[in-house]
Amino acid sequence: MKVRLALTVNGESREVLAPVHKTLLEVLREDLGLTGTKHGCELGECGTCTVLVDGEPVLSCLALPVAIEGRAITTIEGMAEGGELHPLQQAFAELGAAQCGYCTPGILLTAQALLDETPTPTRDEIKEALAGNLCRCTGYTKILDAVELASMRMGARK
Amino acid sequence: MSPPSVIGQPISRVDGRSKVTGAAKYAAEFDPGPRLGHGVVVTSTIAGGVIATIDTAAAETAAGVVAVLTHRNAPKLPYREHKADVDPEDGERLHVLQDDRVHHHGQPVALVVANTFEQATHGASLVRVTYHEEPALTDFGQAETRAVPPGARREDGGHPGETRRGNADAALAAAAVRVVAEYVIPREQHNPIELHATIAAWEDVTLTLWDKTQWVDNVRDEMAAVFGIPIENVRVVSPFGGGAFGSALRPWPHVTLAAMAARHVDRPVKIVLTRRQMYGSTGYRPHTVQRVALGAERTGRLVALHHEGIAETSTYEQYTESLLDATRLLYSCPNVTTRYRVAPMNVNTPTPMRAPGEASGLFALECAMDELAVALDMDPVQLRVRNDAERDEDADLPFSSRALRECFRVGAERFGWERRDPRPTSMRDTSGRLVGYGCASATYPVSVEAASARVQLLVDGSAIVSSAASDMGPGTYTSMTQVAAETLGLPLHRVTFELGDTRMPTAPVHGGSITMASVGSAVQAACTKARRQAFARAKRPSADLVEVLRQLDYSVDVTVHNEPDDAADHYSMHAFGAVFAEVVVDAALGTVRVPRIVGAYGAGRIINPKTAHSQAIGGMVMGIGMALLEHTVVDARSGRVVNSDLAGYLVPVNADVRDLEAIFVDEHDPHVNPLGVKGVAEITLVGVAAAIANAVHHATGRRVRELPITAEKLV
């Protein structure tokens, strides 16, 4: 049974006709072509499918679009503003915090939610915030360094 | 004036922007058009026997289902002979849906194709399979008793059942100090974060595959053989891989299934394996039991070394790896025997997982060396330095370069090894928890394979360089761009490197730490030739390539095939390293934390210290996983993997990681290849688990010889 879903994705209104039980992850990747949101386990274990809903990290593989109609969904494609990378994106690219790059979008968005809430987090707060995101390549240290660098630059900019 | 050298500079990834914006496209994300069908695999629930009945009626009539393929209606495929370096020498790959035989739990027995992934998943749940179950060998303890020597000969790339130099038995019996122990590695899973995925599309007689692979050329060759079509009719595209660590070296059954289904339903078909299915069909590091006996003089000099190992393999392919290779050359010892056996079981075939062989083999050898150091009451670093080999005593060749002693010196200093009180349980942190320091040697061979590269120098002063290589994460795009820019004498921003398409010049497998040496050498050779051609065609003399190119009427287009020289006939070529780990153990709870690892590596020339360091840290963290967490649990009664997800199979999370440092010692090796690179992917995992296990012994006095070192083994 398909339903008409009115979603707000990266500031745009998008209408999708999809079964009511189709996950947000699949709607984003298949119906909206937003493949920057990654698919790693479909069980809520790896964190790679994380998107923001009203600024909060949500595992899109466990979320149903029908439950979040009208709320602001942010995917990695919506993180840069007008072609200018978010300081987190810039720092990740610079420090090599993305290796294969597959876990990167979910980690970037989770980190963005953290910095929006806590602009100058401690290392432990960063680790806590990213505790649900698995990375198999980088060994994590560059990721934590990149969040710290972005936080510092964003503070300096204000 | 030529631009400043970019080789050796910590250049940020050239593909960094595409990865932080979501623009990088991985296999499952290509769009072959609106008629895309989704395939979901149905897998066997027994480990051995034949399929009695398959009821597909309910699935076939379910909404959106386009086709259900089983061995009864699947097209019979030619499956012409095809063996690549990544395939076991002995045995034959699974022929998917070609008969009713079941060889292992999790084997594909049907494929449901539907309009959406959800419909296909639902359809797959409706397929009913019954079996005539037969006795299956799923218990390693039983299989071990029927283990056999590897069949493939050493000359054919096989790993020998027995090797011997001197007389280890006699020397061991006469040795002043002896250590004999058994070590166990559990089955481990690569678990890249990206799921394995393939999209197949036929256009008339040609097949295009978008695949998660570490070797596009071999996927092309294998699919051409399986379907009995010319390789010119197969194109494989794979610009990005979301990690692999060996799991994507070979095309697994789902690749054939996607191509088979796409032809059957006459529309493109995508198959994305579930995380659970990857445990049953994309390989793993085999469960391995090893026994090591060391004999030494009181001075610490090794006089006898015996190392044997038994590992699981499947019934249809004999997977072997370099489990005992390092043992034969790491230390100087006149009497060495190795003995290798494989135990065929009703399981899917293992496959190389990061540092295959060396990671497992050196866990055993380097723990045994630590036990010997304790028995001798000798410092473990000193023991290794004392037994450092001047030449490869196995191959009877000089090393092209060997920095083991230097790595131990630099690593020990950086780590603060001199602070170590050698007595177990003697060190504590400020909270009263036990602290231990451990170390281990690391080594991994250097190989160079033939590779080709194409260089196009355009009249606008830019260059496009390409090779059918892969980048599963280490930074191939970036390091090749550096080599090309430096060789051409162009600034980095004028050079674009492309990879991951069979239409590009051929490249070897992206594994075994050979990409930089092999593809890098081809890129270097092609750029040298292209630059020469451009200058030869220059209308006005100039030392500046950009200026020369702007004078040309048409571009320079050069493809060079580079074969490795005969250095391997004259030198034993390996990277060496020393790993130091600190652990903190809560004696009451048995929990182990790793606050610090320092690794020092002699890995030749480092093209990009930033990407190399990142890769090294990643290798160490996988080593933490190997030491403390990773374990694929197989139900010995059924052959079913019990913990086939990331909640049950633990990989390191960021909370497991504290201070990690990788140091590359200065090493100029003129023999390995023109670039002087040895590769860093594999060696940075080797030795980590042993260093941690040795540190755990130092902290607690408990010697854990079976990985992973979980709490119950320490309380």
**Whole-number pLDDT of residue B674:** 93
Tokens of B341: 């056996």
End-of-domain residue from the set A78, A109, A131: A78
Please tell me which residue in B308, B682, B706, B712 is annotated as part of the active site.
B682
pLDDT exceeds 70 at position B263: yes
d(CA B556, CA B551): 12
**Whole-number pLDDT of residue A7:** 97
**Whole-number pLDDT of residue B3:** 56
Tokens of B362: 């050196």
**Whole-number pLDDT of residue B1:** 44
Question: Are A105 and A151 members of one domain?
Answer: yes
Residue B152's contacts (CB-CB under 8 Å, 6 or more residues apart) are B88, B89, B90, B158, B159, B318, B320
Question: Are A55 and A95 members of one domain?
Answer: no
Task: Inspect the interface and report whether the beta carbons of A141 and B655 lie closer than 8 Å.
Answer: no
Task: Inspect the interface and report whether the beta carbons of B647 and A46 lie closer than 8 Å.
Answer: no
**Whole-number pLDDT of residue B155:** 77
The answer to whether B288 touches B309, Cβ cutoff 8 Å, is yes
pLDDT (tens digit, 9 = 90+) per residue, B431-443?
A: 999 999 999 999 9
pLDDT (tens digit, 9 = 90+) per residue, A40-65?
A: 998 999 999 999 999 999 999 999 99
B577: phi then psi, degrees, rounded to nearest 5? -160, 170
Work out the burial of residue A157: count CB atoms within 10 Å of its CB; fewer than 13 is exposed, 13-18 middle, 19 or more buried: exposed
DSSP-derived secondary structure letter, B377? T
Q: Does B121 contact A at CB distance below 8 Å?
A: no
pLDDT exceeds 50 at position B89: yes
Query: pLDDT-based confidence at B581, cuts 50/70/90?
Result: very high
Task: Inspect the interface and report whether the beta carbons of B193 and A30 lie closer than 8 Å.
Answer: no
**Chain A residues lying within 8 Å of B21, measured CB to CB:** 36, 76-77, 79-80, 85, 89
Question: If we measure between CA atoms, which residue out of B68, B41, B49 comes closest to residue B196?
Answer: B41
B661 is catalytic: no
Question: Are A74 and A94 members of one domain?
Answer: no
The string of DSSP codes covering chain A is -EEEEEEEETTEEEEEEEETT--HHHIIIIIS--TTS--S-SSSSS-TTEEEETTEEEEGGG--GGGGTTSEEE-GGGTSBTTBPPHHHHHHHHHT--SS-SSHHHHHHHHHHHHHH-SS--HHHHHHHTTT---SSS-SHHHHHHHHHHHHHHHHH-
Query: pLDDT-based confidence at B351, cuts 50/70/90?
Result: very high
pLDDT exceeds 50 at position B181: yes
Work out the burial of residue A37: count CB atoms within 10 Å of its CB; fewer than 13 is exposed, 13-18 middle, 19 or more buried: buried
Question: Are A67 and A97 members of one domain?
Answer: no
Tokens of B383: 């023991």
Q: Does A2 contact B at CB distance below 8 Å?
A: no
Task: Inspect the interface and report whether the beta carbons of B243 and A100 lie closer than 8 Å.
Answer: yes
Question: Are A105 and A65 members of one domain?
Answer: no
Buried-state track B114-146, b at ≥16 Cβ within 10 A, e below 16? bbbbbbbebbbebbebebeeeebbbebeebbee
Task: Inspect the interface and report whether the beta carbons of A139 and B192 lie closer than 8 Å.
Answer: no
Query: Within a 10 A sphere around the Cβ of A2, how many other Cβ atoms?
Result: 10
Interface of B with A in 259-278 (CB under 8 A): 272, 274-275
pLDDT (tens digit, 9 = 90+) per residue, A81-106?
A: 988 999 999 999 999 999 999 999 99
The answer to whether B71 touches B100, Cβ cutoff 8 Å, is yes
Interface of B with A in 384-403 (CB under 8 A): none
End-of-domain residue from the set A58, A78, A98: A78
Once rounded to an integer, what is the mean pLDDT over residues B488-499? 97
Report the CATH number at residue A119: 1.10.150.120
Task: Inspect the interface and report whether the beta carbons of B13 and A98 lie closer than 8 Å.
Answer: yes
**Chain A residues lying within 8 Å of B499, measured CB to CB:** none
pLDDT exceeds 70 at position B628: yes
Which residue(s) pair with B68 in the sheet?
A: B112
d(CA B593, CA A131): 16
Task: Inspect the interface and report whether the beta carbons of A96 and B13 lie closer than 8 Å.
Answer: yes
B417: phi then psi, degrees, rounded to nearest 5? -60, -30
**Chain A residues lying within 8 Å of B18, measured CB to CB:** 101
**Chain A residues lying within 8 Å of B621, measured CB to CB:** 139-140
Question: Are A6 and A74 members of one domain?
Answer: yes
Percent of chain B with pLDDT strictly greater than 90: 97
Query: Within a 10 A sphere around the Cβ of B409, how many other Cβ atoms?
Result: 16
Q: Does A149 contact B at CB distance below 8 Å?
A: no
Once rounded to an integer, what is the mean pLDDT over residues B608-616? 96
**Whole-number pLDDT of residue B4:** 66
Question: Are A10 and A69 members of one domain?
Answer: yes
Range of the domain at A74: 2-78
pLDDT exceeds 80 at position B230: yes
**Whole-number pLDDT of residue B158:** 85
| B703 min Cα distance to partner chain A (Å) | 27
Question: Are A63 and A8 members of one domain?
Answer: yes
End-of-domain residue from the set A37, A55, A78: A78
Tokens of B622: 């996988």
pLDDT exceeds 50 at position B389: yes
Q: Which helix (H) or strand (E) holds B583?
A: strand B574-586
pLDDT (tens digit, 9 = 90+) per residue, B510-566?
A: 999 999 999 999 999 999 999 999 999 998 989 999 999 999 999 999 999 999 999
Q: Does B657 contact A at CB distance below 8 Å?
A: yes
Question: Are A70 and A100 members of one domain?
Answer: no
Which residue(s) pair with A157 in the sheet?
A: none
**Chain A residues lying within 8 Å of B655, measured CB to CB:** 127, 131
Q: Where are the beta strands (DSSP E) in B81-176?
A: 90-91, 101-102, 108-114, 128-133, 162-165
Question: Are A127 and A70 members of one domain?
Answer: no
pLDDT exceeds 80 at position B463: yes
Percent of chain A with pLDDT strictly greater than 70: 99
**Whole-number pLDDT of residue B2:** 52
Report the CATH number at residue A28: 3.10.20.30
Question: Are A59 and A91 members of one domain?
Answer: no
ipTM of the complex: 0.98
**Whole-number pLDDT of residue B448:** 95
Domain count, chain A: 2
Q: Which residue's structure tokens are 């304790």?
A: B374
pLDDT exceeds 60 at position B188: yes
pLDDT (tens digit, 9 = 90+) per residue, A14-25?
A: 999 999 999 999
Question: Are A73 and A106 members of one domain?
Answer: no
Across chain B, what does the average pLDDT equal? 97
pLDDT exceeds 80 at position B156: no
Q: Does B118 contact A at CB distance below 8 Å?
A: yes
Angle ∠(B709,B692,B184) on CA atoms, nearest 5: 45
Q: Does B662 contact A at CB distance below 8 Å?
A: no
